[in-house]
Amino acid sequence: MRTLILLVAVGAVYAQDGASRGDWTYHGGTQLAWRYSALDQINRNNVKKLAPVWAFQTGDYEMGLQVTPIVIGGVLYLSTSRSQVFALDAVTGRLIWQFKYPLPRGTVPYGPQNRGVAVGGGYVFLATYDNYLVAIDQKTGEEGWKVNLDDTRQCGCTITAAPLVVKDKVIVGGAGGDSAHRGYLTAVNMKTGRVAWRFYTIPAPGEKGNETWKGDSWRYGGGATWMTGSFDPALNLVYWGVGNAAADNDAGPRFSGQGDGANLYTASVVALDADSGKLKWYHQEVPKDVWDFDSSYECLLIDREVRGRMRKLLVHINKGGYAFVLDRETGEYLNGYPIVDNHTWTSGLTEDGKFIGRVEPVAGKPTPGRPGPRRTATRWTPTCAPGRRTTRTAGAAACRRWSPRWPPRSCRTRRGAR
């Protein structure tokens, strides 16, 4: 962890454009996804004097408030799990307008969740949990246009991530990598709502990478894009993390054993041309993922001197407990760092970024491990105390002995929507 923090801090010396200042205009602060503000009015000496000024109740409490608000020109834009949007005066908390999205009938896969909106071109863009992208007038809160991106009843998918505004387009991913679903990214023209391009994270027959899939498993192989990506305007490249392959713990039906990589482009970072959506490069972090250690998370873009010359870098963390550093122009692997003390499924990384000593679950056979408490912002797994034995089988996970200090309520897996 210390190594990664040092890396980001040193990178900040060379690339200041990734810091937000007066406004928070993107999900990651800026398109480079630093999530860092350069404002210095609040510091270590006066932070203890902070006090609440106003509070606003959305009235939508299911699955919690997961959103990162957007703040532009003194207006705060906020969305809720059930795809309701509010524009507030950021100073007073006064409601400026509210957009009431009609609730879908019946159930929606993974439940209602939303992580935020995007703003650009005079619109506030909302991706809904029943797979619509809606353009809302930034000043009035009135609907400008709405486009359906998928049929929830057929795909078993949903959208939970905030969209990303890139030039004249809005790009949005989707959740559903644990279902019989083929992941994708969709770019929509921000003025008209027409789909500009779609990139599937799993190649079809005839496309490079399809040979890494067995038979027709590519049709329902997962690879969800359930978080928000990044964009480098200078390179005109969009970067996105891709989720796990399906089914999570059983690679037998999907792993072909052919090609470079396994089940491409799942558990990878992909770089796409912003105008066409064509793949420029990829780096697969966890080939043949059977632990649900996917790579959907944000891609942080920094510039730093590496071995005597300036490099454009991408720093990325996945569920496997490692941070990866790539050249974001070429996808070249430069380094990897452990970010946790105890890795239960691998013993380390080689110099070219390959995992060694992997522990693989085998269908029908228990696989012992010694995990400690593990929790991420979007995924919970059975939790045991350090030193306690667990048994993990393909398709199931169960704790055999609990910690007397922190007993889970039940021995089950609770899945947050991707």
Catalytic residues, which ones?
Answer: 292
Contact present, 325 and 283 (Cβ < 8 Å) = no
DSSP for 356-378 reads ES----BTTB-EEE-----B-SS
Q: CA-based angle 312:314:318, to the nearest 5?
A: 170
Q: Is the dihedral of CA 263, 292, 295, 228 positive or negative?
A: positive
Cα–Cα dist 370/347, whole Å: 13
Cα–Cα dist 170/135, whole Å: 10
| CA-to-CA separations, 369 to 339, 379, 386, 390, in angstroms, rounded | 19, 19, 11, 6
Contact present, 86 and 58 (Cβ < 8 Å) = yes
> In the block, which residue shows the tokens 């990162």?
68
Q: Which pair of structure tokens corresponds to residue 406?
A: 């922190």
Contact present, 241 and 295 (Cβ < 8 Å) = yes
| CA-to-CA separations, 88 to 25, 112, 237, 342, in angstroms, rounded | 15, 22, 33, 44
Q: Which pair of structure tokens corresponds to residue 89?
A: 């005066």
DSSP 154: H
Query: Which strand (E) or helix (H) includes residue 354?
Result: none
Cα–Cα dist 366/249, whole Å: 12
